[in-house]
Chains A and B, each alone.
Chain A
């Protein structure tokens, strides 16, 4: 992405609320045109605070943000016609119908799609005459997405777009976001669903306590973490009966509820050695499970809740 156009830039961004809490503490990342970038983090990590700065709703207290090469707050009149925003919580008047809400927004958007087209994209066309207050949480999320898509935006900000959706709805939204991305839309989304980031993002940043703890492709972020082998030993067998762990290229181990967990950088090597040993000693490894590090492990480690910190649980 060296030569690609930077559509979103955050450089050392800080955000302090009033004189007190600093929710964002020097966040930097950039998103190239056509890229799908995810901000991943637990609640309170600062995802929404960063989003709101990029959406131009507030000014950073330090650092700089650019969207489409402009200041999204000061030059919002120039930026807004080219962006679509879905807030974490939709702001709708409960007494308007879906159709009336879309019509109002369409009147406020440059070059708006027809309202029914936007509703069809998110599968809400049948609910046009229903009052927003009677929609389910998931339907409200989809209405919000429809509004964000009205102006055929070049840049789409999605703040937790699938929270409250059922599995089917979540996958429908993923499909739609993939189609938009394939059509050239640049997407910045926040999520606390790891699978969502893994399924959608070209690149991602893991936020924790207002800082970027890891940034890159999902493979880069997870690649730095060790893989894991888990199994149970039959009665009478102990961890000490295994070959010395360094010989298995095991970096660390844990025993939890009768199960053994081995962490390794060389999964295939460690696993082969383990299986060879089990064959030789005719040991049946109970519920054997081996996997490469997932985003979840990387995430848990970063959030300070995981075993890979060495702190255990």
Chain B
């Protein structure tokens, strides 16, 4: 008897989760429409934030890229996964899966696969739309952009798993996801550039979980000349947040509902 390969198990879990995502209209709408709507709604205001000149256009571009990818990571990955993990936990699906061969990591990763795939597809769509319709450049360093998005997806999935610790029902996910959504939108450069913030607020915000991800995203898409030290610092910050979240999940994640 040979063991099923982990890849096969991930595929089986991901496929079932994709079916569930397609059947859940709320989740589907959140995943497909919300990021685009947020960007479309905020775009006119971005123009207003950046007064005149070429530098202003560059600022607006940066905001557009940050908020586009940022909202995709927050809503498609983070928000959706908090609801999905909680729904699976409350219906005892996670507990049942743990009696089988998949490891804990495979169960969480397999459940996250469809959201991750949708997020990556949305990012690609944003790149296509940005270059074709909004006069953004093609990504200058696509490999860096890809790494940034991948790290962002992993970090958001880990934070989603962590948020389930304080989320007792799917309905409560709307409440428990608010802190990260609001803090990220305001503090990670989705709605306004960090450079426009007074000292020391901007400095503090550089260390929020999503900020270094979006710094890397902008460096990958729009270029600019981040120094090697800056890149290392940003990568280090993302990895540190991810490790912290994974450790906390390992410590506090609940696989079955509270009785």
Contacts and interface: CB of A to CB of B under 8 A. Distances in A.
B16 A101 contact: yes
Given A91-B91, A106-B12, A108-B100, A81 B20 contact: no
B88 A81 contact: no
Interface string A87-112: 10111111110001101111111111
A108 B92 contact: no
Interface string B1-15: 111100011011101
A139 interface: no
A122 interface: no
A279 B13 CA distance: 74
B174 interface: no
Looking at A56, A110, A112, which has the most chain B CB atoms within 10 Å of its CB?
A110
Using C-beta atoms within 8 Å of the partner chain, give the interface range for chain B. Answer: 20 to 34
B94 to A, nearest CB: 7
Contacts of A81: 1, 3, 101
B101 A93 contact: no
B16 A91 contact: no
Nearest to A104: B16
A91 B93 contact: yes
A81 to B, nearest CB: 6
Contacts of B3: 77, 81, 110
Contacts, number: 89
Interface in B60-100: 87-88, 91-100
Contact of B100 (A85, A100, A103, A111): A85
A89 B94 CA distance: 12
A110 B92 contact: no
B96 A109 contact: no
B91 A87 contact: no
Contacts of A147: 96
Contacts of B99: 55-57, 80, 85, 87
Contacts of A111: 1-2
A163 B23 CA distance: 30
B115 to A, nearest CB: 15
B13 to A, nearest CB: 7
Contacts of A80: 99-101
A87 B12 contact: no
Contacts of A112: 4
Interface in B11-64: 11-13, 15-16, 19-20, 23-24
Contact of B97 (A95, A106, A108, A110): A108
Contacts of A105: 12, 100
Interface residues of A, number: 29
B96 A104 contact: no
B95 A107 contact: no
A71 to B, nearest CB: 16
Contacts of A106: 12
Nearest to B23: A95
B91 A109 contact: no
Contact of B16 (A57, A100, A109): A100
Given A104-B12, A107-B4, A90 B100 contact: no
Contacts of B12: 103-108
Contacts of B94: 91
B13 A109 contact: no
Contact of B20 (A57, A90, A96): A96
Contact of B93 (A77, A92, A110): A92
B178 interface: no
A110 B8 CA distance: 10
A268 to B, nearest CB: 49
Given A90-B96, A91-B95, A93-B93, A110 B101 contact: yes
Contacts of B131: none
Contact of A109 (B23, B87, B101): B101
Contacts of B91: 91-94
B186 to A, nearest CB: 35
B78 to A, nearest CB: 21
A132 to B, nearest CB: 9
Contacts of A56: 99
A77 B9 CA distance: 13
> Which 6 residue pairs of A and B lie closest in terms of their CB atoms, listed nearest first?
A107-B12, A91-B96, A91-B92, A85-B99, A104-B16, A91-B93
15 contacts: A57-B98, A81-B3, A85-B100, A87-B92, A87-B96, A87-B99, A92-B91, A93-B16, A93-B93, A94-B91, A96-B20, A103-B15, A108-B8, A109-B100, A110-B2
Interface of A: 55-57, 77, 80-81, 85, 87, 89-96, 100-101, 103-112, 147
Given A81-B1, A108-B12, 12 more contacts: A77-B3, A93-B87, A93-B93, A95-B24, A96-B16, A101-B16, A103-B12, A103-B16, A107-B9, A107-B11, A108-B102, A112-B4
